[in-house]
Structure 1
């Protein structure tokens, strides 16, 4: 259980980091990178939620 929670925390930490990078990319005019980073953030968040409920 502890290991699973560490994975979840890691996924969410990475998702937050990608959102920060997406904001920087968008502000710099790199919209394609911002969209890709947002997509990755959503995927990581979804993985975290699925892992939380034991769906892998």
Structure 2
């Protein structure tokens, strides 16, 4: 089952503020989002966000 995240939840997870997330949505950058039929509120799929965060990982030398 898909776990959906609100912009507020994504902001807490990533440290972005809500205005930055709105700007990213407007530019269609960084985090893919959905608007379910009949709703104006954007939602994010947790599994997609986790994959983006994991892909952003930078390896460091010990």
* Coarse TM-score class (shorter-chain normalised): 0.3 to 0.5
TM (norm. structure 1) is 0.34
Greater fraction of residues in helix: 1
User: Relative to total residues, which structure has the larger strand share, 1 or 2?
Assistant: 2
